[in-house]
Structure 1
């Protein structure tokens, strides 16, 4: 709060007070209590939206509060409290957004946080921050489309992502009757209705929504259905490279981050032919690299990072089940770094013989971080990584052993074929 390099504590009291405990490097000392203006909305510790934002990029945080619900059209506004050392605390009238999506996002790449709100009519309200004052140029862009009913678009159903590769955040709305995109054209938001209402379209949160991939800056989806309305085949087609991928019986779910641009999009989906069989699919387009894991129960994920110089953002878990017992056999981490997904994981286990308490089996491994189980589901604890990878997923060094402490056996490295490492359990420790 005071730009000394140490994190301070800010709390909001029930009486509309901001309480600041400064970090003096050895303890926290309460030094300042600021009464919020009396005409402000009631703010408490569980307010839906309040933020500390460095609005001028000068190292000093300003306190913002956005009311939880529509109190009235006159009083529902964005309120701003100046940073420490500022004597004039002013509030700025904004818009009526109610209990809907609101966030601070840099919309024009000037390193200043702009204000965004989406109301119950799905209109985007934008306040562009100016570097010289606490003023925002407030305007809204109509994203309502004919035959789109008034809808409470909740925050979890809205996310921002750079959909057209211009470096500016766009907005996507998921509703029960369609997917809508509002493109940020130099902060003038256009409207596109990407998916018309269809009788068998399910809501996204029920894990049965259709998926759009951003191919050639224009998402395209084709779905073929059987007589009962179930997906029979789904196709992703890119007009740029003329590639076409098909898969049967897709289920789909999506997660995303609207804060901090941790991801543009993170999507995970899986497939089965109903009898345990799997087909492999690989998708690669521009900054995306996608791959699907072979096995009886498989997963597929694709990630685009916002910044090619960024570090590892998050982890997706892939779960494989025992082909006979259904017991979880392994899981592996999936990373996004420098626009390259890495650490794809595949394995198979084949028991070769079983004599007394001495087991011998072959395990096929390609992994960075995994947990392994034997054919009976007993845990094989991995002491060290079998492979080391560079930022592009290439193997730097292959490790030589995998120790099973539970069964006191040693898996010895045998040979490598196509980056798959064969190990065999041959002796007790």
Structure 2
């Protein structure tokens, strides 16, 4: 049996995790932590210098601007195996030092909800909460805030709270058109969901939308109703926990809301919705804050989503392709197909290498990078995912990246999906879980971005 080659990147990850999760690490002065991390830098043959730091992710040093950029590490086994300690070591900013909280939670899954269905236990947990809202309709207020236009006028805030929680907790809210978790809301929705018969391409729900339901009742001095709605949000998030596509954000939402059950006066000093939103986010513990980056730092969220896409494309290393270059090319394909006028707005958020690849793919129609772009609604064979799990991950990470750059550039997400994500669906059409009834259509327009 052949020996497994030693991988310096894996070794540094394991060594750093052991060092940083030691309780004594938090008491080590920052200067000493910097020295310890400098001894764990890696250099690759292309001149790259790599740091495994904050958020338990890799950063690459740019010699041109002297900055560290969030960057998925090399995927090629040969490149990784040839890495050596970096000498001399570039300066490491203290904000990139890892903390124990960075290793304290699972990152979750980047898969979309196409292919693998939502587990039946999760669906039934949400259905039970929704049935309670249907049975107690007369006891609850109507929908207010950003979610109001999605539902019929007689739908209660409780129904909207369950829906909004499902959407807020979704890493990438692209759902199979047969997904039961969506179909159970069909009787309440005042307009058809965006997408087609195969996939519902849903816009992200903001924390503002959930806060608005709660804040409206506080304004009416109906604290009991407000706390019931907040509790319903937490209960829905708890029902979603078993599915790793929901789990990270569900844990974060529970941590923000659950303290209200023991101390219902917590939000009293926050007199408006914006202040309540901030109070909720401040209650999110450090170990879960990366799950709410899309609320707190859209630019960093875009970078992390693109990192996820590179990792989802890691299977390409076995085909001799660079997942980072392909990810930049696919980003260019989506931007060119949806909002080419917004292309330049993303340059400041890309490191020099990705920025150059993205620029070339956008500006040179005959360049080989264009060979990665979808053709006639399907991914070309060289980048086609090898199996269902890989396809679902590329679909999810690609859709999350699309939503992230749209928010960053002030662009409305496309109702029928981004070109790359839509093409990836063709890899899953015949590998979905058991067919289920389609989502009922209601008269009206497509959902608006909430």
Which of the two has greater strand per residue?
1
Higher-Rg structure is 1
Which of the two has greater helix per residue?
2
TM-score of the superposed pair, with normalisation by structure 2: 0.20
TM-score of the superposed pair, with normalisation by structure 1: 0.20
Question: Which of structures 1 and 2 has the larger relative contact order (alpha carbons within 8 angstroms, sep 6+)?
Answer: 2
